Amino acid sequence: MRRTRPDLAHLVGLGDAAAIRREIARAVPLYKGIETLTAKGDEFQWGGRTLYADGAFATADGRAHFAAVTLDRGPWTRRAHSSAPSPIADRRFWVSTRRGKQFDSMIQRAIDPLTGAARDHIFISRDDLARVGLHEGTRVRLRSECGTFHGYLRAAPIKPGNLEVHWPEGNSLLSSAAIDPDSLEPDYNALVELEPLV
């Protein structure tokens, strides 16, 4: 399947990164300010002014206010339900997508500058490596209800029963239907089965 059409590039009208940022600001009002980024180190506060600017919150009394929130609907509470499969059973794991310095970046490095890991590495605890009888560097497939991801195991200080993969590579495992109804934030996690590939 052909994924790009360089012959139609002139129809997009976005000749450089600055033009792309201007288009983002126009299309997504919450990102207003992104169009002002021009040099390394430039930044803006997503969603508005800094929450704790000058030692005061944007409330009537300048103090933070907290409220309890009941999480009682949809896939967001699946970990709390007793009917959810135990991640420790068999080769099932909770997988989350890792962002680090890659978050919201339009340029993805082949090697993560924080960990030295490649984009297709799957972070796993040493305890889990021993439990499933595999070793670092083993090529595996992760399978969720939504898709698959192929990569190589890499030992990391991560809680047993959990895996991490890079974003956006791990998006193939995530559900496009698991969206929080209030914030419209997707669920960046999934339950997966780990399958060694030989």
pLDDT tens column, 5-46? 888 878 877 888 899 889 888 888 778 888 999 888 888 776
Are 135 and 128 spatial neighbours (Cβ–Cβ below 8 Å)? no
Q: What is the pLDDT of residues 84-122, one digit of tens each?
A: 445 555 889 999 987 655 554 544 678 877 788 898 999
Q: Are residues 47 and 102 in the same domain?
A: no
Q: What pLDDT shows up at residue 89?
A: 58
| pLDDT tops 90 at residue 124 | yes
Are 175 and 190 spatial neighbours (Cβ–Cβ below 8 Å)? yes
Residue 165 lies in a domain: yes
pTM over 0.75: no
Are 175 and 75 spatial neighbours (Cβ–Cβ below 8 Å)? yes
Half-sphere exposure of 147 (CA within 13 A, CB side): 11
Q: Of the candidates 131, 121, 111, 130, which has an alpha carbon nearest to the alpha carbon of residue 153?
A: 121
Which domain range does residue 46 map to?
A: 13-55
- Please, is 61 exposed, middle or buried when counting C-beta atoms within 10 Å of its C-beta (0-12, 13-18, 19+)? exposed
- Residue type (1 letter), 78: R
Residue 173 lies in a domain: yes
- Residue type (1 letter), 169: E
- Is the pLDDT higher at 82 or at 111? 111
Residue 75 lies in a domain: no
Q: Are residues 93 and 188 in the same domain?
A: yes
- Please, is 164 exposed, middle or buried when counting C-beta atoms within 10 Å of its C-beta (0-12, 13-18, 19+)? buried
CATH of residue 169's domain is: 2.40.40.20
Return the structure tokens found at 91.
């080769």
Q: What is the pLDDT of residues 67-81, one digit of tens each?
A: 887 766 544 444 433
